Structure 1
């Protein structure tokens, strides 16, 4: 069975590292990016099964990056999980067109559950 790929966009290296370690422990292949301006190139290169998107990511921000992805007919079916410490994360996720959201700080089990749910929906 092929390992499922998760692509994480976050400008916080600690969060990237933590999420990568946790998701790798759950058997996922993980790729990370600290910027979002080249999201289409990154996604076409990596071909992730699911994307975790931070709100405050340079250079164009999570909302714009997610919208770009969702407008692209090649990639709009890839689930995007929006994650942020903002109180209004559900509204941000909705504006972005994300498929799900996760509030920071989050529980590691929550992280694994939301990723596996998103992947199940696309299967």
Structure 2
């Protein structure tokens, strides 16, 4: 599957995760945008219109659940798949509560990351 021209936003306050994920995804032809907080999330996402969003649960300031819900309530943005990711043991519950399409438990390996992204892209 040719991923050229695909855009992804990663919201995570962990710089290591941002740099690792960015590196891997850019190698695969993704244009990667990263943010360490979810302030003004609707404006940020509207300005980029990504194909996929990776959302951390513990993102400052309002948190991943509120941030994801803000996107899902927005008519123009609600179709963008959100992959919720967290080290929290209740991640499935959190992802459902947020309205995310799917989730990825931390720590994850890179095959898991690629697989979950491909899964949501196929469903679009």
Give 1:93 deviation, angstroms.
0.2
Equivalent residue, structure 2, for 1:68: 70
Q: How does 1:1-123 map to 2 (within 5 A)?
A: 2-122=4-124
Give 1:4 deviation, angstroms.
0.7
Taking the aligned partners of 1:105 and 1:13, their CA distance within structure 2 comes to 14
Taking the aligned partners of 1:106 and 1:26, their CA distance within structure 2 comes to 18
Taking the aligned partners of 1:111 and 1:15, their CA distance within structure 2 comes to 12
Taking the aligned partners of 2:21 and 2:38, their CA distance within structure 1 comes to 17
Instruction: Give the structure-1-normalised TM-score.
Output: 0.96
The residue matched to 1:63 in structure 2 has which SS?
helix
Unaligned runs of at least 5 residues, structure 1 = none
Give 1:28 deviation, angstroms.
1.1
Give 1:75 deviation, angstroms.
0.3
The two structures, once aligned, show a CA RMSD in angstroms of 1.0
Taking the aligned partners of 2:60 and 2:94, their CA distance within structure 1 comes to 16
> Which aligned runs of 4 or more in structure 1 are off by greater than 4 angstroms?
none
Residues paired across the two proteins, number: 122
Instruction: Give the structure-2-normalised TM-score.
Output: 0.95
The residue matched to 1:92 in structure 2 has which SS?
helix
Unaligned runs of at least 5 residues, structure 2 = none
